[in-house]
Structure 1
Amino acid sequence: MPVDAAFVNIDGPWEHRYVSANGARFHIAELGEGPLVLMLHGFPQFWYTWRHQMRALADAGYRVAAMDLRGYGASDKPPRGYDTYMATLDTASVVRALGEKDAVVIGQGLGGWISWCMPVLRPDVTRAVASLSMPHPRILRHAMWSNAKQRKASAWIAGLQKPFAPEREMTQSHDYVERLLRSWSSPFGSYPEPEDVARYGDAMMIPFVAHSAAEHYRWLGRSSVRPDGPMFMRRIRHAIQVPVLQLQGTDDGCVIADATYGSGAFVPGDFRHVKVKGAGHFLTEEAPEQVNATLTKWLGSLD
């Protein structure tokens, strides 16, 4: 059954608000005061994956805003605009809509992909970036060509290129979301619990979310055989001039840990690569204490 978008307005110490940015309306969960830290979730989740980090970073003296990406949760779901250029413009526009001139951008999965692109495509608003479970896009692209394990792990992206079928599967039951949550997380941990499957499975049933979520990845697939894909890859090869933190779970079933090395080649300055042992793709929920400690220490070093 379809789920109302208000489902994502989950109670907690945070405040829910909506901001108009880049011609769309975005749902934000916000907590704390201080320098802005903007958090971008991945697939198949929404802002709530950052709940542990929001509390920790707000306590450490930061203003934390976790947004629903275009097409997810309670944010707008327009029929177009799911390329990475638009995602970075959305992010930059939200920073400005929140009344700030710049922010530290932290992303996981798809959000990590966007975060890596911010310093090159939107440098005016990007103070620093952290990417969880996602190497530099050029590193991941190379791994999908050259690493058999990564190519197999990325087969789900090819599945999303089909019209209509993925949307039907995502909205008929929780099975699709549960399969991803279980196969991408560490086989040695307890994540996901039944409530995690229900929460993210229900969020995928919000009208138009399944289609919009797939569109983000359909652009990645389609653009690779069109001029805009190679052009995008050429643009983001430029050196990143802000501090970068990369966190990677050793048991990630979506982005294979061995395929994530080499991102530092794009960061001539402050680059840190941290392994999170025994954790999979969903670091914010599989290893919240280690992620909180690492992010807090890293953000403190920026100050």
Structure 2
Amino acid sequence: MAAAGYRAVAMDLRGYGASDKTPRGYDPFTVAADVSGVVRSLGATDAVIVGHGWGGFVAWSTAVLAPKQVRAVGAVSAPHPLMLMRTAQPRAVAQVGWFQLPILPERRLLAHDGIHIERLLRDWSAPGGSFPDAEASRRYRAALQVWPAPHCALEYHRWFVRSRLRADGRRYSARMRTPVAVPVLQVHGALDGAVNAASTATTPPGLITGELRHAVLTKAGHFPHEELPEQFNKLLLDWLAGLEP
């Protein structure tokens, strides 16, 4: 993105990488405020927010909860939040259900030098693909073995499930019925082991009123930007070039 002339900023979400690993704040209201704050802290009024997976969930949320800071949304392997449960693969639903248990999921992510993290990456990628290679696996495993990163990562999934019956979850669902009025690019891998790409092609009327572009990469799984980086970059750059300056 930077080589093409864009100001590109890669942000670690709260709880990941070099960002603070706080004891709470893994709900979309707080994380959308984090993204909005980062945009403004860099001296910008708005930005194109591109996110993968849970980052895509945050991008959708920020477009509704902090719309002044969002010029467009690129959602990668991330259906609209109100469609998330309907589009998840059964295996992924079972995995997220297991994440609700206390302590045990964290222990598993840390066990045996983080080998379970590599298995998750392989399970959700296209079968027979080259991702993750040894270097990518090492980086992902190392990043999620910095305590309490495993716990923080799981807290996003725990909030999403547990909030279904709470007031904050109902409030979030009600807010997300507000139409996303900016241009949207949705990118999915046809061989995604976590999200059913076919079921993401149709979003209920009224949730997106901005121009929508939907692309499915036939040979990619859940990580199209990692599995097919050149094809993904071209798709993203072509879309960015068509946005209003």
Aligned mates of 2:229, 2:188 — CA distance in 1: 13
SS at match of 1:241: coil
Matched, 1:270 2:211: yes
- Cα offset for 1:231? 2.0
Unpaired runs of 5+ residues, structure 2, are none
Q: Contact 1:247 / 1:275 at 8 angstroms: preserved in 2?
A: yes
The separation in 2 between residues aligned to 1:208 and 1:59, in whole angstroms, is 34
- Structure 2 residue matching 1:131: 3-state secondary structure: strand
Q: Deviations over 1:155-179 (max 9, x none)?
A: 1111111111111111122221011
SS of the equivalent of 2:156 reads helix
Structure-to-structure mapping, 1:173-212, within 5 angstroms: 173-212=113-152
Please state whether the residue corresponding to 2:9 is helix, strand or coil.
strand
Contact 1:139 1:262 in 2 (8 A): no
Residue type matched to 1:271 in 2? L
Partner AA of 1:251 in structure 2:
L
CA distance in 1, matches of 2:38, 2:210: 27
Q: Partner of 2:83: helix, strand, or coil?
A: helix
Counterpart in 2 of 1:85?
Answer: 29
Residues 264 and 271, structure 1, Cα contact 8 Å, conserved in 2 = no
Partner of 1:18: none
Q: Which amino acid aligns with 2:104?
A: A
Residues 229 and 151 (structure 1), Cα distance of their counterparts in 2 relative to 1, 3 Å cut: farther
* CA deviations over 1:11-70 (Å, ceiling 9, x no partner): xxxxxxxxxxxxxxxxxxxxxxxxxxxxxxxxxxxxxxxxxxxxxx11211100001110
Which residue matches 2:92?
153
Identity %: 45
1:106 aligns with 2:50: yes
What's the counterpart of residue 284 of structure 1? 225
2-side partners of 1:180 and 1:284: how far apart?
17
Matched, 1:142 2:86: yes
1:222 aligns with 2:162: yes
CA RMSD of aligned residues (A): 1.3
TM-score by length of 1: 0.77
Identify which of 177, 180, 185 aligns with 1:240. 180
Shift, 1:202, TM fit? 1.1
> What is the rounded CA distance, in whole Å, between the counterparts of 1:152 and 1:231 in structure 2?
28
Q: Which amino acid aligns with 2:29?
A: Y
Q: Which moved more, 1:94-103 or 1:165-174?
A: 165-174
CA shift for structure 1 position 264: 6.7
Q: Distance in 1 between matches of 2:154 and 2:34?
A: 18
- List per-residue Cα deviations over 1:213-255 (Å, max 9, x = no partner): 1111111111012122122111101111100000000000011
CA contact (8 A) 1:143 1:151 kept: no
Runs of 4+ in structure 1 deviating by more than 3 angstroms, as ranges, are none
Which residues of structure 1 form unaligned runs of 5+?
1-56, 145-149
Q: For the Cα contact (< 8 Å) 2:79–2:87, is it kept in 1?
A: no
